[in-house]
Amino acid sequence: MLDHSATWDGLPAATQALIVTNTTVGPLYAARLQQALAGRFGQVHVLQLPDGEGYKSWDSLNQVFDALLSHACDRKTMLFALGGGVVGDLTGFAAACYMRGVPFVQVPTTLLAQVDSSVGGKTAINHPLGKNMIGAFYQPLRVVCDLDTLRTLPAREISAGLAEVIKYGPICDLAFLDWIDSNLEALRRLDPAALAYAVRRSCEIKAAVVGQDERETGLRAILNFGHTFGHAIEAGLGYGQWLHGEAVGCGMVLAARLSQRLGLLSAQRVQHLSDLIGRAGLPVRAPRLEPDPVANASRYLDLMRIDKKSEAGQLRFVLVDDAGAPHLQPVPDALVREVIEAGCA
């Protein structure tokens, strides 16, 4: 699909295009995309960045700017993000900033990017002190999901993507959660019909939420279910140790337990979600960041306090209830500490 010229009909004209990809995805798909775009742009450049969350950095962003400026790219130049969430977030942010904004297209090649990060216009890079701290809300012109690209994805990456698919269930669609429960094995073996439905339904839900609150002044935050704990895991272990989806999977188990402590969610629902996440091939026990339990919980709290949902130093969590509705609310540190201690490996 991505290598068919017709896929790209209707894009505005420009003299130049830049495909940003990484050293894993580039060798597989960049030449095909470049060829498909060749008739539409005078020049189609390719920039390959190193692969991994650790490269969602200033340094990589600057490589994109250097490439654009060294080719004298003007402000109609179109960027194509060919890869997973790291490439998409970083390329989108580069597009948002280059000459104060050039058009860009998302071509997600991981399940996680197809069901979540490529949709909705959140772009960012990481800062050593926090994930996605530097970024912009900037919408792609188009998102092209080619399910065939998922065939080359390692099983671990499929599991990581399933975390974000599962996420949509507890926060707003228990029927979808049931469907995932019944189709999890089909999804893991990349059954085309199951994948197509999961990607479509995920994008529908995400688009509906973002359509009501693009800039995350309220509702959009529910899409971060599991992400506050998840970000702390990623930052605490060092970006790239756990995949984002793995951290979110485990984070959802912790967030569900927190919801249970607050009387929102039944023990049965917590168990069901935890089992599903485990069956998806994701970790359900959080990593211990410090040997001492008190120090460990403190480390988690410190890492979570720089979460973007925090206000005035007060942690706020996305919680869920038995009816499949989300709750964004502050939670006392003591409760969070209990959940961390009980949930750590």
Residue identified by tokens 């959140």 is: 122
Cα distances from 9 to residues 2, 20, 114, 217, in angstroms, run: 12, 20, 20, 35
Binding residue (CB under 8 A) for its own copies from 55, 57, 122, 336? 122
Asked if 47 is part of the footprint of its own copies (rule: CB under 8 A), the reply reads no
Cβ–Cβ under 8 Å, residues 47 and 63: yes
User: Binding site annotation covers 3?
Assistant: no
Helix (H, G, I), strand (E, B) or coil at 287: coil
Kindly state the tokens that stand for 161: 């993507």
Binding residue (CB under 8 A) for its own copies from 54, 130, 240, 278? 130
Binding residue (CB under 8 A) for its own copies from 124, 162, 177, 184? 124
Name which of 71 and 327 has its Cβ closer to its own copies.
71
Name which of 70 and 182 has its Cβ closer to its own copies.
70
Asked if 70 is part of the footprint of its own copies (rule: CB under 8 A), the reply reads yes
- Specify the stretch interacting with its own copies by CB under 8 A; choose among 145-153, 186-194, 268-276, 301-309: 301-309
Kindly state the tokens that stand for 211: 């359509």
What φ, ψ does residue 120 adopt, rounded to 5°?
110, -10
User: Between the CA atoms of 142, 148, 151 and 152, what dihedral angle is there, to the nearest 10 degrees?
Assistant: -60
Going by the DSSP 8-state scheme, the letter that residue 224 receives in this structure is G
Closest CA to 131 of 23, 214, 48, 248: 248
Total number of residues binding its own copies (CB under 8 A)?
37
What amino acid is encoded at 316 in this protein? R
309 flagged as catalytic: no
Q: Is the dihedral of CA 17, 22, 23, 26 positive or negative?
A: negative
Name which of 190 and 301 has its Cβ closer to its own copies.
301
Cα distances from 299 to residues 87, 176, 248, 302, in angstroms, run: 29, 35, 18, 5
Asked if 75 is part of the footprint of its own copies (rule: CB under 8 A), the reply reads yes
142 flagged as catalytic: no
216 flagged as catalytic: yes
d(CA 5, CA 337): 54
Task: Give bridge partners of residue 17 from the DSSP assignment.
Answer: 44, 78
- In whole angstroms, how close is the CB of 345 to its own copies at the nearest point? 28
Kindly state the tokens that stand for 124: 């960012």
Kindly state the tokens that stand for 110: 């991981």
206 flagged as catalytic: yes
Interface characters, 8-37, with its own copies (x: CB under 8 A): -------x----------------------
User: Binding site annotation covers 150?
Assistant: yes
**Range 76-105, binding its own copies (CB under 8 A):** 76, 96-101
d(CA 180, CA 167): 11
Which region holds residue 72: left if phi is over 0, alpha if psi is between -120 and 50, else beta?
left
Catalytically annotated residue among 244, 257, 299, 308: 244
- Specify the stretch interacting with its own copies by CB under 8 A; choose among 63-71, 111-119, 272-280, 289-297: 63-71
Interface characters, 173-212, with its own copies (x: CB under 8 A): ----------------------------------------
Asked if 301 is part of the footprint of its own copies (rule: CB under 8 A), the reply reads no
d(CA 63, CA 167): 33
- In whole angstroms, how close is the CB of 127 to its own copies at the nearest point? 6
Catalytically annotated residue among 126, 157, 167, 220: 220
Annotated binding site for NAD(+): 51-56, 85-89, 109-110, 122, 131, 149-152
Binding site for its own copies (CB under 8 A): 15, 42, 58, 62, 65-66, 69-70, 72, 74-76, 96-101, 122, 124, 127, 129-130, 133-137, 215-216, 305-306, 308, 310-313
**Which of the residues are catalytic?**
100, 122, 164, 206, 216, 220, 224, 227, 231, 244
